[in-house]
Chains A and B, each alone.
Chain A
Amino acid sequence: MSRDRPAERRLQPAATPPSRRHASRESGRQDAGGAAGWKPALRGALAALVAILLLALSGLAFGHSPRELLTILITGSVGSAFALQGTLLKSVPLLLTGLSVVLAFRAGVWNIGGEGQFIVGALAALLASRFGLAASLLAAMLAGAAWASLASLMRLWRNAPEVLTTILLNFTAIHLLGWCVNGPLRERAAMYPQTDAAQSTLPRLGGLHAGIPIAIAAAIAAWWLLYRTREGLRLRATGFNASAAQWAGVNVRAQLVRAMAVSGAAAGLAGGIELLGVTHRLFERFAAGYGYSGIAVALLAQLHPLGALASSFFFGALVTGAGELQRAANISAAVATLGQAVVILVLIGYEHARSRR
């Protein structure tokens, strides 16, 4: 059957994205209406808890007591106003890149290119910063969308799978940034390979910045788009079953292109906010894995925009707490990356156990 329809096949993503796998075995039967029900939320919370406990237990291997590690992790991330502030600042880019992945995966598009879209978003924000804050944020979104859409173009022209093209575009963006900060955008003082400070900044809110309400608004907007609009309905239908969606009158190709663009815009906005709110300058390691971490955020959120609020906070706390671990217990902060991996493995293990029942 599918052999006869190359035109349709080229619209299918390279592999089954997580949205299908998760939802196809959804046990919360009255789910999907938007509020998502409590079962996926519980599943995510459980996965986070198990991951933290495993992480603490692994301290035994290095001669640390799990209790001590847990204490440092928790106090270092939410134990004081200062720690909480650090956690919230880390959560903002994670929330936006997480939303970026939620939107793409819900449509069945493998956008692994959050990292690259984050970088070009920040680059565009920097260049547009002299036209004011609004222009700068807008430029970040447009640049992220455009960068992501390059993958859509390659899909439409040459049927290139997004998994590959978006990853390759990450490397392209990283090198583009490297060239910029060493060449045309290098600071006037020319001391370090970094740019001058952006000419706009996000308003400060105490020790935080206005990116926090913007990111929360973005999460609510994403939820509204997915669960309260016709377009969102079509987007989710495409992600669940592109072939059936086509028979139900959905223009699947347009959905895939749009989802990729919106997803890229969210990641670009993340980069713009990180620049205008936190770093103010660009340097080579600016992205710091925020794009990739967005995948973990989205998966832990069970691909739900409001779930991403909680999961981005969790991963933000993990990163901040891991920094404290490094200072207090001399354990590498890479433990945060390890934590992400453990969360995903726990989720996969849970899905696997459920599918065998």
Chain B
Amino acid sequence: MRLSHITKSFGVTRAVDDVSLTIEPGEVLAVIGENGAGKTTLMRIAAGELAPDAGTIEDAASIGFVHQHFLLVPELTIAENLALLRPRFRFATRRTLEREAAETIAASGIELRDVARRVAELSVGEKSKLELIKAISKRPSTLILDEPTSVLTPHESEELFAVMRALASHGTAIVFISHKLPEVLAVAQRIAVMRAGKLVLETRSASAESLALAMTPQQSPLPGREAGERARVRGALALQHANLTLHHNEILALLGVAGNGQSQLAEELRRQLPHAGHIPEDRTRDGVIAQMTIAENLALRGVGDAAQRIGRYSIRATGPKQLAGDLSGGNQQKVVLARELDRRPEIIVAAEPTRGLDLEATRFVHERLRDAADAGAAILLITSDLDEAFALADAMQVIYRGTLSERMTPEEASTRVANLMAGVA
């Protein structure tokens, strides 16, 4: 299958930008890159799930796609879930379904016992095996696996790799989307690196270091610092939590690829520090209370005079009584900022504060965080965005699989974070 000059935009973001890629039979191709680099979008286009804005697909193959999220019916058994693959009307006994399921599983070469179990009772690893069996059972010429190992134990991952190799040896083309370098190096014959929608590297042999470098945006020394901005003097110790230390007048960036324990840490801190300012990571779910007005949202943290706050935080709204859910994402985030920062908390935990925001809103959030640090707050910035970290942070730490690296200055970090984030250091 040949993808030529594929381009796809969502709103103003170019998710995939002029990418050409060939998928060869009998080969394991790894597509790697950071979150939001466009890997999944590209593959959904290849699978025909999304239409590209521009570009062509030649020799389109039959494709099996194993998604990152399970598409299983938890209330049904393994056998019943597999039976759903045959939409034709027919009568079948439970025993027939179970026999057919066992045959399908045996043919796939994957081990999965007891097809009468309900999917809800399966472990995450077993569910992902079932997804894989579903995809293989249609005998596709190309199999796409989107981050299949993110929920697997190392042992289960090994099993998966064995299946991938076996399928490839029988002529199936396999595309393996990941951001974990060690496993990519272990299993892929060819590696395509994506960054910000572009294909930046295609290679058959590469070191982990060169891949990590290709995945992360090139850093000019201390990018994003505006000229003339004075360096803050680090203040007194504000928080000591495990090997995390926060000082007043300081922004500490905690960098990491999503899913390495950041959410758990943010929640832990929320429980430990109920009076700190918290900017939640999952903005759509945890940001504002959509059904309440701006004034009511602010009042939840005791912030009064909503009209004045709307002006100060340049929230585009008709007034304090507008429902927060009717605001744009950027303006909702400004409401959260007003709610969390306006009472000048000593400690601020901001998780992915600009994810999905446009440039103007992003700049506004960054300014407010800098102002808060200037005013004495100790800020923990949890982010997977390197540009953001380097633009704001006075110090950095990397979180990988729940473990924090040591503190680094931005200068030290510029050469080391990429490897630390990928777990190859």
Contact = CB atoms under 8 A, between A and B. Distances in A.
Interface of A: 1, 4-5, 8, 20, 23-24, 26, 29-33, 230, 233-234, 236-237, 240-241, 243-250
A354 to B, nearest CB: 15
Interface footprint category on B: 20 to 34
Interface string B289-306: 111110011011110000
In the complex, the 9 A-B pairs of residues with the closest C-beta atoms, listed nearest first: A23-B291, A248-B300, A247-B280, A247-B286, A240-B291, A244-B286, A240-B289, A241-B289, A237-B289
B290 A249 contact: no
22 contacts: A1-B263, A4-B263, A4-B264, A5-B267, A23-B291, A24-B325, A29-B323, A30-B321, A30-B322, A32-B292, A32-B293, A230-B302, A233-B299, A236-B292, A241-B289, A243-B286, A244-B280, A244-B288, A247-B286, A247-B287, A248-B297, A249-B278
B25 to A, nearest CB: 37
Contact of A248 (B290, B301, B322): B301
B329 to A, nearest CB: 14
A244 B299 contact: no
B322 A237 contact: no
A33 B274 CA distance: 27
Interface of B: 263-264, 267, 270, 274-275, 278, 280, 282, 285-293, 296-297, 299-302, 321-323, 325-326, 339
B291 A32 contact: yes
Given A24-B291, A240-B289, 20 more contacts: A1-B263, A5-B267, A26-B323, A30-B321, A31-B323, A32-B292, A32-B293, A32-B296, A32-B321, A33-B293, A241-B286, A241-B289, A241-B290, A245-B300, A246-B270, A246-B286, A247-B278, A248-B297, A248-B300, A248-B339
A323 B212 CA distance: 79
A243 B291 contact: no
Contacts of B290: 24, 240-241
Contact of B300 (A5, A24, A26, A237): A237
Contact of A234 (B274, B275, B287, B300): B300
A5 B281 CA distance: 14
Nearest to A31: B323
B285 A244 contact: yes
Contacts of A31: 323
Nearest to B270: A247
A4 B323 CA distance: 30
A30 B287 CA distance: 20
Contacts of A1: 263, 282
A234 B322 CA distance: 18
B339 A233 contact: no
B354 to A, nearest CB: 17
Contacts of B325: 24
Given A233-B300, A250-B300, A244 B287 contact: yes
A251 to B, nearest CB: 8
A248 B322 CA distance: 18
A1 B291 CA distance: 23
Contacts of B292: 32, 236-237, 240
Contacts of A247: 270, 278, 280, 286-287
Contacts of A26: 291, 323
A249 B274 contact: yes
Nearest to B266: A247
A248 B323 contact: no
Contacts of A246: 270, 286
B263 A249 contact: no
B171 to A, nearest CB: 37
Nearest to A234: B300
A243 B263 CA distance: 13
A32 B302 CA distance: 18
A33 B291 CA distance: 11
A233 B326 CA distance: 19
A243 B285 contact: yes
B274 to A, nearest CB: 6
Contacts of A33: 293, 321
Contacts of A32: 291-293, 296, 321, 323
A246 B285 CA distance: 11
B291 A20 contact: yes
Contacts of A23: 291
B274 A244 contact: no
A10 B290 CA distance: 22
Contacts of B297: 248
Identify the interface centre among A5, A32, A233, A248: most chain B CB within 10 Å of its CB. A248
Nearest to A26: B291
Contacts of B322: 29-30
B67 to A, nearest CB: 16
A31 B292 CA distance: 9
Nearest to B297: A248
Contacts of B285: 241, 243-244
A245 B285 CA distance: 10
A244 B288 CA distance: 7
Contacts of B299: 230, 233
A20 B270 CA distance: 25
Identify the interface centre among A4, A32, A230: most chain B CB within 10 Å of its CB. A32
Contacts of A230: 299, 302
A33 B285 CA distance: 22
A303 to B, nearest CB: 12
A29 B280 CA distance: 26
Contacts of A240: 289-292
A249 B280 CA distance: 11
A243 B323 CA distance: 18
Contacts of A20: 291
A32 B293 CA distance: 7
Contacts of A249: 274-275, 278, 300-301
A24 B323 CA distance: 10
B346 to A, nearest CB: 15
Nearest to A248: B300
Nearest to A249: B301
Contact of A244 (B264, B275, B289): B289
